[in-house]
Structure 1
Amino acid sequence: MKAWIIAFRLRTLPLALASICMGSFLAAANGFFNGLVCAFCILTTVLLQILSNLANDYGDTINGADSADREGPSRMVQSGAITLPAMRRAIGLFIVMTLASGIYLLYLSFGFDVKAFAFFFVLGLLSILAALAYTAGRKPYGYIGLGDLSVLLFFGLTGVLGSYYLFAQQVNWLLLFPALSCGLFSVAVLNVNNIRDIESDKKAGKYSVPVRLGRSKAVVYHYFLLTIGILSALAFTALEFHSWTQLLFIVTVPLFIVNAKAVKNKTKAADLDPYLKQMAMSTLLFVLLFGLGYLIA
């Protein structure tokens, strides 16, 4: 049981929930909220994230990224704590549970609206496929540096705009700004992970963005992600300004600065690892303060 809990990587769940929380706050602030829809948004997202983590554990082992040379936390398949067949069965189980939860979520949101149901069902299938194909399969896209784009799309634009639409059945183009903030901060979490693993990824032939750019340019890239994320939030606030409470999220800026400094100065994997969780929690706190400030404005 301990091995499975480690494989679930529960510390990644706050980041996965950030986009759902953002979409829910924005919907509530505009008068569109349903507690049951919110609950199944959260459940579906948690199941999908755990599925992604299990597939990542499996894929990185069979493709060589999780080897004895890896400096980050050990993975359960690579360490032998979980067998490959057992992991495949678990992945199958979480696919089924994610689909079941997602289908009921779509029924709660759209009822028998076939077009909306079908569109979001296909989007859900693409999300599952993206979770599986990141490191698993013959040509995992995470190994050619496309993980950042996937995270931006699914943890940002799709997560925020999609969850908002499940509540409201409509969307406003201005919501692209907070969606972009969520996506960029999520990419920053992945970037910390990839900078930490840069040497072992090189050996495994995993060409993440930091491997392609080199460490120094990857640090500049990290600064870019954090800066544009904050500026996107400020742009939305300026365009939708109602009250100074909307600037509550500003208190999280020092946390992002701390993370940026750590990425630059912490050159050992063990020293950088805690800042993965710090970045994920900072993102969730940003979302909560941004959403709360907009809700009470």
Structure 2
Amino acid sequence: MTAVVLLQVLFALSVARHLGPLSTSRALLTLALFVPESVSRRLLNDYDDFKRGVDVPETARRGSALATGLSMQRVRAVGLACFTAGILALGWLLYTANPWSLALLPLSFAVLVYSGGPVPLGHHGLGELMDFVVCGFYVVAVVIWVNVRQLPFAAVMAAVAAGFLFAATMFHNDLRDSVEDLRAGKRTLAHALSPRASKICYAVFVLAPYPCLVLVAHALDSWRFAAPLATLPYAVWLVVGVTRSRLGGTMPSWMHLPRLLASVFALLSLAVWI
């Protein structure tokens, strides 16, 4: 997912480039800070899943920190160190864009209460909302803001599109792991909805980004920003596959979601920069 996040930042920088001139040093720093930031999300989530019993050594998810045999205390320490590095860089960018922009920085700490803390939001049906607001909308909006100091309608729509894509990624994960999550005491949006409602919600999350991107292209008067529409057949195929499956372990692989996100972000970036 680190690669997906970096492509997301390029996606945001592509929109920013159309809105105003970019400083190469600020753009590179923006891109660099999301490497430790995205690593921290993964490590802190893995640590919390281990701590709360969602992941145990015998059934650890393939690719998780626990499955690799790493010390989970070290995983937590490295995760916090990466988070701190990302926060410091983002704080500097916000301050130099506009000192009042530092008021946005507390939103970055939402990653710490997403799955950690005494009342983890991700364990109480708010995971998709958190991914929409923080991992999707906030990241795109703040990248555009710190680089061109404006956030017009097109930028907001680009951020909304990213929000839906990250919410879809989380929802697919929650639908797939609903039985294991419930056994570990973790209640997600998947547990609050009926199977029919879940499938409708899933379709909305996956398909809603596309009209948002059309609005971006119209607002910026450049159909290059509609290049990700080429991925619409893939998104429709994925929605059909999920709606026809039994929710749970028999669903299409979760890996389709990172591929879809990467394709959307990469296509728009390539269309704008080439």
Q: TM-score, normalised by structure 1?
A: 0.81
Deviations 1:127-165 (Å, cap 9, x if unpaired)?
Answer: 1x2222222222100000111111111233211221111
Instruction: Name the structure 1 match of 2:164.
Output: 184
**Aligned partners of 1:266 and 1:203: how far apart in 2?**
22
1:126 aligns with 2:102: no
3-state SS of 1:76 partner: coil
Cα shift readout 1:259-297 (whole Å, capped 9, x = no counterpart)? 213323454866647x3332222222212323444567x
Number of aligned residues: 274
Q: Distance in 2 between matches of 1:71 and 1:221?
A: 28
- Point out where structure 1 has 5 or more consecutive residues left out of the alignment: 1-11
Q: Does 1:97 align with 2:85?
A: yes
Aligned-pair distance for 1:75?
3.5
1:46 paired residue number:
35
State the match for 1:83 in structure 2.
71
Partner of 2:190: 210
- CA spacing shift, 1:248–1:212, aligned 2, 3 Å: same
Counting aligned pairs with the same residue, the percent is 18
> CA 1:193/1:148 → structure 2, altered by over 3 Å: closer, same or farther?
same
Whose relative contact order is higher, 1 or 2, with alpha carbons under 8 Å and at least 6 apart?
1
1:285 maps to a residue whose letter is: S
CA distance in 2, matches of 1:246, 1:84: 42
- Rounded Cα–Cα distance in structure 1 between residues aligned with 2:114 and 2:164: 18
Paired with 1:171 and 1:252, the residues of 2 have a C-alpha distance of: 26
Tell me which residue corresponds to 1:36.
25
User: Equivalent residue of 1:44, what SS?
Assistant: helix
CA distance in 1 between partners of 2:110 and 2:208 (Å):
25
- In the alignment, structure 1 residue 289 sits paired with structure 2 residue 267: yes
1:279 corresponds in structure 2 to: 257
Quote the Cα distance in structure 1 between the aligned partners of 2:231 and 2:68. Answer: 40
Q: Which amino acid aligns with 1:81?
A: G
- CA 1:30–1:239: 2 relative to 1, 3 Å: closer
Tell me the distance in 2 between the aligned counterparts of 1:96 and 1:291: 28
Contact 2:114 2:120 survives alignment (8 Å): yes
Corresponding residue number in structure 2 for 1:255: 234
**Which one-letter code corresponds to 2:182 in the other structure?**
K
Contact 1:19 1:179 in 2 (8 A): no
Aligned match of 1:114: 99
| TM-score, normalised via structure 2 length | 0.87
Aligned to 2:173: 193
Q: Using a 3 Å threshold, how does the CA distance of structure 1 residues 29 and 200 change in structure 2: closer, same or farther?
A: same
Distance 1:15 1:266, change over 3 A: farther
Q: Matches of 2:99 and 2:204 in 1, distance apart?
A: 41
Supply the distance in 1 between the matched residues of 2:116 and 2:225 (Cα, whole angstroms).
41
Cα offsets for 1:178-221 (capped at 9, x unmatched) = 21111101111111111111110111121111121144422221
- SS of 1:276's equivalent in the other structure is coil
1:227-256 deviation digits (Å, cap 9, x = unpaired): 2211111223234334x4443222110111
Out of 17, 30, 34, the position equivalent to 2:6 is: 17
The Cα RMSD (Å) is 2.7
